Amino acid sequence: MIRQPLHSPTDTLKDDTDALTFHTDTEQYDDIPENLFVTNTTGNNTKVARSNAMTGTKKSLGFKLGYGWGAGRKQKEVEAELEEEQPSQIQTLPVYLPPTSPPTRSNTMSSQGSKATYNSHDTHRSQGTHKSQDTHKSQGTQRSQESHKTNLSHQSQGLRAVQDSLKRNDSQRSYASASTQKTAASAATAGSGNPIPTRPRHRHSNESQSTLVGSAYERKLNEVDSIKDEGDTNEKLSDLRRNMVSQSLDYYVVPSEDAHGSEYVAESDQRRQYITAFFGSVGTAIVTMNDAYFFTDSRYWLQARQQLDQNWRLIKAGDVGQPKDWIEWLIDRVKDAKIGIDARMISHEKATLLNNEIVRSNSKLVYPPQNLVDLIWKDKPLKSKAPIFFQPIEFTGVSAATKLFKLREWVKQQPPSIPSYSKAPATPAQIQVGTLITHLASIAYLLNLRGSDIPHNPLFHAFLFVGLENATIFLDASKVNDEMSDYLKSLGVERREYTDLWTFLRRREWG
């Protein structure tokens, strides 16, 4: 490659053209560096280190780039400085010669600056010995078989020491007595003509599971999901449509979220996964009397094509010419229709937005008293009974009592619910007296509590109403032991059953 002169203000290039030489680890040496590994002896301590790899003579050195280290300096001056930096007294270790077969490079993850690290049995070669058999013969460095066997025990001892040293971040460390004994035993075995034993290494695959370590990887392997292997969805859709007829519905929407708006839900709340057999975390199913549609974003288009059967039509939300979400799709499609959805699975904001749009086409949202998927879900998993537990103050930083106090101060600062046209002062019924929290992470944070209801999430199913004087948590009794009950009482939080929330709201028990 030829680089044309650059008109740089520093004028680092003097010639008209400058040849670029690119060096890689596949270059052949004209001779083998004799001082690849050295030992420094200080007192009774012996340490093994790598000598400068550039002391070997390559066909060309990397100082012709014109920029970077050594730019504008003569090659001989640089080589002279490198020789001066070498230790004054070094002890050369014997160089291990490869077997008769030519060396091969395996897929190693070591960096170029640590090529002496031995990553596998195939790559147990130093940087100075990456040559073919013919190169060794041409330079007169090929050893005889008898000489190789004679020196093999010394070689293995030094190489095993280098391996152990380089594995510990290439730092210079002294050998332990136990490691020395193992090395001596390996040398004795190698001296008999057998190959030098190497420590087995685990090589991670390129699959996503290789990023999971420890208990997380074991949980992923042992995770039981009874919904993934349900097979054809014909029967499920037929049962769902019979329930739609009984409710006089033209559409039925099955979101991925649970009653708390969670993206990741418990197995008992995976209704969309059950009806579609798609087990990604995001997506919305809409079933009509004749068709079934599945909406998801670009993260899951490939997975959806693989997992959805012939009963479902994939709608690529956000794609060119496609609606951005299922709400936009319904607004442009429905006419004189009733759209059913579980009222717990949609926010008030989305429901209001959708109703205001579809009312123009004489359509409306309908909220059946029961979730239609729950009615057809055979062997539906039970809700988790895992107990909640306390998160200590050293991890939360702030006590739950302080958080509740700050929340009540925020409620007091909210303006009263006075109509915009009214000029009268606020009545007691219009003043804010509390707030209802449905988000699981917010409840866990506020009370400094954790749970195990959702896999890989430290959360528990609950609703929390915080008033100016008292608070009520809606939580299953099976999750609360005596210690947790006393803790909630100390915070002034009353416990009621999880399903009592709807009675609490209908009767306006907050005052």
| CATH number of 359's domain | 3.40.350.10
Q: Are residues 369 and 417 located together in one domain of the fold?
A: no
10: left (phi over 0), alpha (psi -120 to 50) or beta: alpha
Q: Under DSSP, is residue 25 helix (H, G, I), strand (E, B) or coil?
A: coil
Q: Could you list the pLDDT tens digit for every one of the 511 residues in the chain?
A: 666 655 555 555 444 444 444 444 444 545 555 555 555 555 555 555 555 544 444 444 444 444 444 444 556 666 666 656 555 444 445 544 545 544 444 444 444 444 444 444 444 444 444 444 444 444 444 444 554 444 545 555 555 554 555 555 444 444 444 444 444 444 444 444 444 343 344 434 444 444 445 555 665 556 555 555 556 899 999 999 999 999 999 999 999 999 999 999 999 999 999 999 998 989 999 999 999 999 999 999 999 999 999 999 999 999 999 999 999 999 999 999 999 999 999 999 999 999 999 999 999 999 999 999 999 998 899 999 999 999 999 999 999 999 999 999 999 999 999 988 888 898 988 999 999 999 999 999 999 999 999 999 999 999 999 999 999 999 999 999 999 999 999 999 999 999 999 999 999 998 8
Q: Is residue 336 part of a domain?
A: yes
Place of tokens 């099976």: 478
Q: Is residue 466 part of a domain?
A: yes
Q: Are residues 341 and 419 located together in one domain of the fold?
A: no
Q: Is residue 511 part of a domain?
A: no
Q: Are residues 165 and 296 located together in one domain of the fold?
A: no
Q: Is residue 130 part of a domain?
A: yes
CB 262 within 8 A of CB 454: yes
Total-model pTM: 0.57
Q: Is residue 220 part of a domain?
A: no
User: DSSP code of 383?
Assistant: P
Chain centroid to Cα 503, Å, comes to: 41
Q: Is residue 223 part of a domain?
A: no
Identify the burial level of 504 via C-beta atoms within 10 angstroms of its C-beta, where 0-12 means exposed, 13-18 middle and 19 or more buried: middle
Question: Percent of the chain having pLDDT more than 90?
Answer: 51
Q: Is residue 293 part of a domain?
A: yes
Helix (H) or strand (E) holding 437: strand 434-437
Domain tally, the chain: 3
Q: Is residue 311 part of a domain?
A: yes
CB atoms within 10 A of CB 370: 10
CB 313 within 8 A of CB 337: no
9 is in which domain, residue-wise? 2-191
Q: Are residues 354 and 418 located together in one domain of the fold?
A: no
Task: Give me the pLDDT at residue 420, please.
Answer: 84
Among 273, 283, 284, 292, residue whose Cα is nearest residue 229: 273
- d(C-alpha 27, C-alpha 231), whole Å: 56
Give the ranges where 192-291 is alpha helix by DSSP (H). 214-222, 234-246, 271-276
